[in-house]
Structure formats: structure tokens, C-alpha cells
Structure 1
Amino acid sequence: MKLNQLRALVEIAATGSLNGAARRLHVTQPAITKALRELEDECGVRLLERNPWGVVPTAEGATLLQRAHTIVRELERAQEDLAYLKGSRDGKLMIGVTPIAGTGGLADAFVEFRRRWPQVTIEFRELGINALREQLRSRTLDLAFGAFPMSPGDDIGTVEQLFEYDTVFITRANGSFAGATTLAELQAAEWIHTDGTDNYPGTIRAMFDRAGLEPPLRITRCTSYALFYGLTLLSDAVFAWTRHSLAETEHGHRFVELALAETPPPPLRLYLFSPPEAQLTRPAEHFLDCIREVIAGRGAKASTGR
């Protein structure tokens, strides 16, 4: 197998057409067609087929494509590292994030990283845990950051806990429940959450049960974070959020922490994920330096109470 053949396969799958792959690789369509034909001849199977939406991998093509992604991206990383040794400061950095992890200092780290590495092409991808796991394994991502109550396991790659964020119950500062101090006052509230499982609703119902109360009338799941923020701003909703987000983000200034005696949900932990047995590129290493500087600064701020 030749690298140009694997590149052709990757780009055809990404764009859904031979023309699209040719444009991305800055070659002619006949060159793409020739590379694909040679690859299929070598493999002895069809790797791509047409459907109404374009060109898609066959089952055999999808299997090879997983490896091709890794090979192509690893070679790009090697070329970037060699260029760095020659004084170049460009390259590409792919970072995956779970939705709430974006509040965990990544914006501050990005600003500092961009100051040091102005020419690096960066892409942030918001992904669920399964997609994040898959793209780390295929080496599509250089790094990933996820926020979870507990570690999702080491099958996702190399895992390192960076920080822990206390969670609190909050509501709109000008809402009907802003002054509530007991669960009994919150039975009529809209309890909104983003948990795709039944863990959070179960936690809320158990909390009310321990207080000898019927559960809330409405426990609403919303896994769209853009819609979630809109709902919390426009309705008298109660939800769990990190104390950091409440204090440090612009959005957080519109909410207040509820003075409840009940224990809030478990704290969120910010985890760093890197592909298993992978050597990080120089830009990836420097981005990690930036995020660790941000986290260290927040830890020092928290310890001094400032």
C-alpha cells in the first residue's frame, strides 16, 4: 500500500466524492481514480460504493479506513515534528471536548497557546463520550478533555484527572425560586438536566424521597447544550452547575446558588485523554502546558480564597 492511495481513501470517505477528494489533495480526479483502483486491486475487494448520497465505504473499506486514518495522521504528525526541529511553528492540532468541559479553562489555555503558536491550525470538536473514544483510538484527535462525575475508564486512552469542580443547585437570579431554601419550595420547579442516562433523575427523586417529599412534577432532559442554556434563562428552572461556572462565566452571573441543606450531585472532574501509546506533537505538548498553567492558577486562587 502506498501513502497516496491511503490519502485518497481517507479524503473520498471524508468528502463523499472523488471530485471532493481531488480538490482536497490538489490533484486531478483521474489521479484519485487511479490510486483507488490500485488500492482495490491490491486488497482484492471493493472499498467504496455509490449510494444516493455519494461515495461511501463498503464493510471492507470501513475496516481499512480506520487504519488509514491513523497512518495518514501519524505521518502528518511526524512531518510536523521534523518541521518544528527546523524552526517551523505551524502544524495542526485536533482537540475533542465533551460539552461542559469547555468551561474548564480551555478558552484561557487557547488564548495563551495562540500567543505562543499563532500559525497552528486548531480544531475543537464537541463530542459525546463514544465518539470521543473512537476518534482517540483512530488518532483523529491529538487530545481530548471531558468533564464527568467519575472517570469513564482507561479504555478511552491515557487518562489524567486535571481538576475537580464542586457542583451546586442554581436558578435564575430574578426567578420565582431564587430565594428558596427547602426542597418543598422547589417541587413545582422545572428541574432541567443534560444527563443522557437516568442517573440524574434518579438522584433528584432519591433526594426528595429522603426529605419525605414527593418528587418534582417536572424533571426535563435536554441534551442540546445550546437549548439547555436558553431554557434555563427563560424559565424558572433549577439545575446543577459547577460553582466555577457560576462565579467565572458571563452566563453564570444571571443565576444564583440555592441555599439548600441537601447535598448537591457529585463534583465534576475535568479529565485529559490522550491516545494510547501515542507520542504527542509539539503543539499538543504546548497546549497541555497552557491548560496546566491555567489549572494551577485556579488551584492557587481557590486555596487563597481569592
Structure 2
Amino acid sequence: MKLHHFRDLLAVAETGSLRSAARHLGLAQPVITRSIQELERELGVALFDRHAKGVTLTEKGMMFVRRVEAFQADLQRARDEIAQSKEELVGEISVVFSPVICMTVMPRILTAFSKRYPQVVLRISEGLFQTVEAQLENGVIDFWVGPLELSVSHPRFSVEQLFDTSRTVVGRTGHPLREAKNLAELKDCGWVRPALSKRTTETDFTPIFEDAGLPQPKFLVHSGSPLITILAVASTDLLTMLPVHTFRFSSLSKLIQKFDNIEPFYSAPICNVKRHGLQLTPAAEHLCDLIRKAAHNFILEEGSGQSVFDTQSDR
């Protein structure tokens, strides 16, 4: 089993056909076909089901691809670590941020990171913990930052709590009920439900109504992204709940506003999560450090009412 076998396997799995994989890699199709056949012969199982429109992974093929992806990620991480130890500031980092982190922490760290590692590629995706848990576990993703419910055990991961947050009722700027003092005054309103995962505590707020002894909110829009949530609220009289730190993104105040007379509600703390035992590259560790500085800045700002910690400096 050689590295080119893994390369070819992943290309076929990604493109869905031998021909497309060959085109993607700049190789002749028979080369890819032979490579896959050699892998299947060595493993003693079929990795792909062949059909008229291409190929799909078998169950055992999916198992093997997950392992190969993890191996490739660790191998790339090792190469980057060696290069960065020689002051060759190259490589790649794959991270996933929750929506609130994309709007708050991410803008504060990109300039500083690029200044220190101008040739390192940042692959940034948006998602909740549930959607990336498997990729975190196999190391394809270096780390994830977002709200994590700490009352649930996460034995396979190293979890670093960064800062607390809470959720607040949000409506369009100038909403007629913006002076409401409690949820009971909003019980007849329509609501936008943010993107959900199987672990609904990450985004759902129906338990808040239950705790207040109120009927379930009337969800008229089920949103698949924060952009949809914000635009749906900004263009209607619908309401939603968003993390209070969302409003660090100052431009939002032109579209939506917090209902300041209603006390914010509990939300899971913001955490940095990676696989247990995963050794990050120096560049990835630097990115984590910038995120810690931004988190520390949030804490100090809340205490003093002004920014007192410079994440743009390269210390």
C-alpha cells in the first residue's frame, strides 16, 4: 500500500467517478483504475460500487476512507510542523467556527495571523459541533470553536473553555415590541428558528419558553444559516434569539436590535475543541493563541466597557 493509492482513493471518493478523478489528478484513467484495483485486492474487499453514472463508496469503503483521511491529515500536519520548525512559514490549517465566532472572533484574528504566517492557507468552514464531530475525531479538522454544552461529557476531545455568553431576544431595528419586558408579552409573535442539529441545545430556545410556563413559540421560518436568520428578522416583525456577542459585529445594529428590557438567557460557553492527543503545528497553535487573546479581550471589554487587549499585535 503506497501513498499514491491513498491519493487516488480520495480523488475517486470525492469526484464520484474514475474518469473525473483521473482528470482531477492529471492522470490517465487506466492508472486510477489499476490503483483502486490494487487497493481492493490487498484489502480483500470492494471499496466502490460501480454503476453507469460513476461509483459510490461501499460501507467498507467509507470505513477505509475515514481512516485514510485521518492519516493524510496527520501526514500533512507532520510535514507542516517540520517546515515551520525550519522557519519555513508554509502549510495549511483546517478549522471550523460556529456562526457567532465567524462574526465576532474571526475578524479580529485574521490580520494578525496573516502577518505572522503569510503563506499558510487557512481553510475556514462554518458549523456547529454536531456537524463536525466525526471530522474532529479523526483529525481532518485541526480544531473547532463555538458554543459547547459542558454538562454533556466529551471524552474523546480536549475542551478549552474560552468565555461565557448568553442569548438575547432580537427583532428588526424599530420593532413595535422592542420595549417588551418579558417573553409573555411576545407570546403571540412569530419566530425564526436558527439552524438546528441533533443536539438542539446548541441553537434551539424552545426550553426557555417551557421554563417560563409559556406555550411553544410559533416558528414561521426555520433558518439554515445565520444570514437567513438575520435577513428574515430584519425584513419582518418576526423575532429570534441570538448570542449577545453577535452584536460585536457593529453593522448589525442597522438591521436588527436586542430587546434590552428582557434579561438575556443562558447559552453554552464558547469553547475550543480538538481531538485528545492531537499535536497542532506551530501555525495552528499561534492561531489558537490569537483566539485566546480575542476571548480574553471580550472578557475585559465586558468589565470595562472598552477594548483593552490588542489582538492585532503579534506578541
Gaps of at least 5 residues in structure 1 are none
Alignment of 1:165-244 (within 5 A): 165-194=165-194, 196=196, 197=200, 200-207=205-212, 209=213, 215=215, 218-220=218-220, 222-225=222-225, 226-244=227-245
Gaps of at least 5 residues in structure 2 are 307-315
Mapped contact 2:165–2:266 kept (Cα < 8 A) = no
Q: For 1:204, give the aligned amino acid.
A: F
Mapped contact 1:95–1:143 kept (Cα < 8 A) = yes
Mapped contact 1:46–1:61 kept (Cα < 8 A) = yes
My pick for the range that moved more, 239-248 or 56-65, is: 239-248
Aligned to 1:68: 68
CA deviation string 1:68-125 (max 9, x = no partner): 1111121111111222233321211111123333234122122321222221222112
Aligned to 2:280: 280
Mapped contact 1:177–1:189 kept (Cα < 8 A) = no
Query: How far is the alpha carbon of 1:50 from its aligned partner?
Result: 2.3
Mapped contact 1:136–1:156 kept (Cα < 8 A) = no
Aligned to 2:50: 50
Give identity over the alignment, percent: 25
Aligned to 2:312: none
Aligned to 2:250: 249
Mapped contact 1:164–1:269 kept (Cα < 8 A) = yes
Q: How far, CA to CA, are the matches of 1:31 and 1:80 in structure 2?
A: 29
Query: How far is the alpha carbon of 1:4 from its aligned partner?
Result: 1.4
Query: How far is the alpha carbon of 1:15 from its aligned partner?
Result: 1.6
Aligned to 1:103: 103
SS in 2 for 1:237: coil
Q: How far, CA to CA, are the matches of 2:276 and 2:23 in structure 1?
A: 32
Aligned to 2:85: 85
Q: How far, CA to CA, are the matches of 2:70 and 2:243 in structure 1?
A: 36
How much is the aligned-residue C-alpha RMSD, in angstroms? 2.5
Aligned to 1:159: 159
Q: How far, CA to CA, are the matches of 2:46 and 2:112 in structure 1?
A: 47
Q: How far, CA to CA, are the matches of 1:27 and 1:138 in structure 2?
A: 29
Query: How far is the alpha carbon of 1:26 from its aligned partner?
Result: 4.2
Query: How far is the alpha carbon of 1:221 from its aligned partner?
Result: 5.5
My pick for the range that moved more, 119-128 or 150-159, is: 150-159
Mapped contact 2:206–2:217 kept (Cα < 8 A) = no
Query: How many aligned positions are there?
Result: 300
Q: Residues 5 and 259 of structure 1: is their aligned pair in 2 closer, same or farther, counting only changes over 3 Å? A: closer
